[in-house]
Amino acid sequence: MNYQYYMPTRAIIGEDCILNHSDVFKTLGKRAMLVTGARSAKLNGSAKDIMSALEAVGITYLVYDKVMSNPTVACAYEGAALAKANDVDFIIAIGGGSPMDAGKAIALLAAQDIEPSALFSGKYENKVLPIVAVPTTAGTGSEVTQYSILTNDAMQTKTGIASNYIFPAIAFLDSKYMEALSYTTLVNTAVDALSHAVEGMLSVRRSFISDALAMESIRSIMETLKAIAGMGDDVKMTSEMRDKLLYASFMAGIVIAQTGTTVVHAMGYALTYSKGIDHGKANGLLMGSYLKLVSKQDSDLADKIVSVMGYDSIESMDKLILPMIGEGVHLSEDEIEHYTQKVLKTSNVLNCLVKPAKEDIMNMYQEALNAM
Amino acid sequence: MNYQYYMPTRAIIGEDCILNHSDVFKTLGKRAMLVTGARSAKLNGSAKDIMSALEAVGITYLVYDKVMSNPTVACAYEGAALAKANDVDFIIAIGGGSPMDAGKAIALLAAQDIEPSALFSGKYENKVLPIVAVPTTAGTGSEVTQYSILTNDAMQTKTGIASNYIFPAIAFLDSKYMEALSYTTLVNTAVDALSHAVEGMLSVRRSFISDALAMESIRSIMETLKAIAGMGDDVKMTSEMRDKLLYASFMAGIVIAQTGTTVVHAMGYALTYSKGIDHGKANGLLMGSYLKLVSKQDSDLADKIVSVMGYDSIESMDKLILPMIGEGVHLSEDEIEHYTQKVLKTSNVLNCLVKPAKEDIMNMYQEALNAM
């Protein structure tokens, strides 16, 4: 089998990297649009650093700060209309996965006309505004992927745009923007990143290099999760811990840029769409159940992953993670049937090394959400 | 400190990947020039696969097969003149480090006028013919770096062009082209790749991600070297072993694309230039001596590297590697003084976490080449 490795984003990494590298923006154009959520980019200092850097090199900008959690297709079109109306040269997306994913879709839609019905087709012209991504959580890895995950009301789930055109041109990684993250956000985003690394190892597109990065990422994330377990709102992270988590999430992003995600993400998207469960938490609820299914057909692989985590069983992993992410919701039999139908339509199922049948997916939902 | 991660080459990997992905060439132009050495690309089937793939998609080509080991500046200009005269759209470099490094310089020189005196300046326009790289040894990693190392008679050593413009657009990794490699070539090239991974961990530009890739690369290379030690011309490599070595060399290439190399490479270049010692062998002769110097100032780091190799001492590493690469040459005191002066002028010295003084470099030459 042939496979590919590709990740063209230039990452600039370390404290104050935005202010130290303001010259980089001059290579992208003269007018920028910042894409953020309503609050966090303002509170954590990332938007201020970007604005200072842009002002230092004479680049004008406007701000689109209306990205909600699990951004909608409508949000992407709204942002793109604003970018077009203002002749923006490039997009700077700041935040967790939501603003970064919205920013990528905006950069695509601002540069070419795509009907909403064709938005997830994967067929685009090679025209997109350059994207700068500034992650302010350590979870999504969106700063180094070709994915933009949007809430797709037509499909009643979250769906991804996947195109090499939307890899960010530049990613700035400065963990100081994570200082004020709550315990809940830290845990949920770290579990999201963990899930990327683990699912990368469970994908048919797994390779020597995605595995190398995934294992290093898993080690770092588990070290951090074990260190902060149970701390709750008193959580204290040193800057070294924040760096480690941000870099682990970055590596896990490079992993899924190669491998894609598995049935765990597809199952999680349905939960997030219909039940509002946080994305990282949804993956965390389901990961153990899928690892158990993998274990039945390829115990060496499941053992290897669990051992990289520093455990000797999937149960031990769940014993750490499940209390940290908190309880799920109860699903009715009808809901499980409904979500399973949606999951079966995704390409994620085909992307699994161990392919789940319909009853496997139903059992995983059952185990993860009804047996608590 | 801030640092960057960047490696934009698209790698296409696996058996028959060139024939399976001939469509890729259509994205690069209509007329290609193959850059190879005199023989190996013909013998190992790589040139034939490239020609078949080009013919399948209607791309015309010519062949420049005059690249010698340790290619000269003159060779790069000669190849570039041929490319210009034939209106070539892109370059396909096939071979070990020599044709790939020559191919990158040719792609640069065919697209812009650069005086020989400015060739190593690092200041170029953003104009270069797209480069396709096909490694047929597992050593140089040139398929995923921004370096072109040429014999620089003006400096009486080998010198590197370093420019992000010369990252190959595409690298094809198919280990079947390594089938006929001799034991000597296998060992020397593997030791070169090992040296890249080790030196990456000893560089001031070392990072979490270069370390992750370097350690995985070191593990794979040492596994292979231990497996083939002493086999000589009876060496038997399975296709799995060849894959492992090629992928390790690829990862080590990504490492030095981020970190650069250290004093080991600078010392080796002088040996290769003046004494004709193979590049990988030169690094292998010197690596242990530099690790011993590192060990005196940062024993944790040296211990970590040796332990990733599966050893508990630098001497054990040398005990495996030195007999495999064979004896060096004897250097006179004058030669050592002369080479040391050249090494001290390189940026490689500044790139070392543990900076060697003049007497350290002289001692390393002494230990590696006079105390055999």
User: DSSP of B39-101, one letter per residue?
Assistant: SHHHHTSHHHHHHHHHHHTT-EEEEE--PPSS-BHHHHHHHHHHHHHTT-SEEEEEESHHHHH
Q: Quick check: B43 pLDDT over 70?
A: yes
B208–A247: do the CB atoms touch at under 8 Å?
A: yes
Q: Are B331 and B370 in contact (CB under 8 A)?
A: yes
Residue A92 has a pLDDT of: 98
Q: Cα torsion at A110, A140, A143, A77 (round to 10°)?
A: 0
| pLDDT band at A152; cut points 50, 70, 90 | confident
H helices present in chain B, as ranges: 17-20, 23-26, 40-43, 46-56, 73-85, 97-109, 183-201, 208-228, 239-259, 263-275, 279-297, 299-308, 314-325, 333-344, 347-350, 358-370
More confidently predicted of A62 and A369: A62
Average pLDDT, chain B: 96
Residue linked to tokens 């082209």: B177
Q: Quick check: B86 pLDDT over 80?
A: yes
Neighbours of A129 (CB within 10 A): 25
Asked if A16 has any chain B CB less than 8 Å from its own CB, the reply is: yes
Asked if B7 has any chain A CB less than 8 Å from its own CB, the reply is: yes
Residue A25 has a pLDDT of: 98
For A132, phi and psi rounded to 5 degrees?
Answer: -110, 130
Neighbours of A238 (CB within 10 A): 9
Mean pLDDT of the A34-49 span: 95
CA-based nearest residue to A252, from A300, A289, A219, A294: A219
What's the sign of the alpha-carbon dihedral B357, B361, B362, B364? Answer: positive
Q: Quick check: A258 pLDDT over 80?
A: yes
Mean pLDDT of the A52-64 span: 98
Query: Which CATH superfamily groups domain B183-370?
Result: Dehydroquinate synthase-like - alpha domain (1.20.1090.10)
Q: Are A105 and A117 in contact (CB under 8 A)?
A: no
Neighbours of A257 (CB within 10 A): 25
A2–B10: do the CB atoms touch at under 8 Å?
A: no
Please state, for a pLDDT cut of 70, what percent of chain B lies above it.
Answer: 99
Residue B274 has a pLDDT of: 92
3-class DSSP assignment, residue B4: strand
Mean pLDDT of the B32-53 span: 96
A213–B212: do the CB atoms touch at under 8 Å?
A: yes
What ipTM does this complex have?
0.94
What is the nearest CA distance from B9 to chain A, expressed in angstroms?
A: 7
Residue A198 has a pLDDT of: 98
Residue B155 has a pLDDT of: 81
Chain B interface disruption, residue of A209, A211, A219, most B CBs within 10 A:
A209
B4–A16: do the CB atoms touch at under 8 Å?
A: no
Give the Cα separation of A264 and A248 in Å (integer): 19
Give the Cα separation of A105 and A110 in Å (integer): 8
A2–B11: do the CB atoms touch at under 8 Å?
A: no
Q: Are A159 and A150 in contact (CB under 8 A)?
A: yes
Give the Cα separation of B259 and B3 in Å (integer): 10
Asked if A126 has any chain B CB less than 8 Å from its own CB, the reply is: no
What CATH class has B10-178?
A: alpha beta
Residue A348 structure tokens: 């994620």
Mean pLDDT of the B216-234 span: 96
Mean pLDDT of the B63-69 span: 96
For A149, phi and psi rounded to 5 degrees?
Answer: -95, 120
Chain A residues touching residue B9 (CB < 8 angstroms): 6
What is the nearest CA distance from A251 to chain B, expressed in angstroms?
A: 7
3-class DSSP assignment, residue B132: strand
The CA-based angle A342-A347-A351, given to 5 degrees, is 125
Give the Cα separation of B47 and B32 in Å (integer): 13
Q: Quick check: A352 pLDDT over 90?
A: yes
CATH 3.40.50.1970 domain locations along chain B:
10-178
Please state, for a pLDDT cut of 70, what percent of chain A lies above it.
Answer: 99
A212–B251: do the CB atoms touch at under 8 Å?
A: yes
Please state, for a pLDDT cut of 90, what percent of chain A lies above it.
Answer: 94
Q: Are B277 and B285 in contact (CB under 8 A)?
A: yes
Paired residues of A150 in beta bridges? A159
Residue A157 has a pLDDT of: 84
Q: Cα torsion at A231, A234, A237, A238 (round to 10°)?
A: -130
CA-based nearest residue to A29, from A60, A62, A56, A55: A60
One-letter amino acid for residue B249 of the chain: S
Asked if A26 has any chain B CB less than 8 Å from its own CB, the reply is: no
Give the Cα separation of A165 and B10 in Å (integer): 13
CA-based nearest residue to B7, from A9, A146, A147, A248: A9
What is the nearest CA distance from B247 to chain A, expressed in angstroms?
A: 7
Residue A371 has a pLDDT of: 60
CATH 1.20.1090.10 domain locations along chain A:
183-370
- Taking phi over 0 as left and psi of -120 to 50 as alpha, with beta for the rest, A7 belongs to beta
Give the Cα separation of B52 and B19 in Å (integer): 7
pLDDT tens for residues A208-242?
999 999 999 999 999 999 999 999 999 999 999 99
Residue B259 has a pLDDT of: 97
| pLDDT band at A153; cut points 50, 70, 90 | confident
Q: Are B52 and B80 in contact (CB under 8 A)?
A: no
B13–A216: do the CB atoms touch at under 8 Å?
A: no
CA-based nearest residue to B91, from B115, B111, B121, B119: B111
Mean pLDDT of the B202-215 span: 96
A13–B21: do the CB atoms touch at under 8 Å?
A: no
Residue B215 structure tokens: 């350690």
Residue B328 has a pLDDT of: 85
Compare CB distances from A251 to B2, B209, B220 and report the shortest one's residue.
Answer: B209
Q: Quick check: B372 pLDDT over 60?
A: no
Residue B371 has a pLDDT of: 61
Q: How many residues does chain B have?
A: 372
| pLDDT band at A158; cut points 50, 70, 90 | confident
- Between strands A147-152 and A157-162, the pairing is antiparallel
Asked if B1 has any chain A CB less than 8 Å from its own CB, the reply is: yes
A14–B1: do the CB atoms touch at under 8 Å?
A: yes
Residue A156 has a pLDDT of: 83
Q: How many CB pairs under 8 A join A and B?
A: 76
Give the Cα separation of A231 and A91 in Å (integer): 37
B209–A213: do the CB atoms touch at under 8 Å?
A: yes
Residue A285 has a pLDDT of: 97
| pLDDT band at A327; cut points 50, 70, 90 | confident
pLDDT tens for residues B314-353?
999 999 999 999 988 899 999 999 999 999 999 999 999 9
What's the sign of the alpha-carbon dihedral B273, B276, B278, B280? Answer: negative
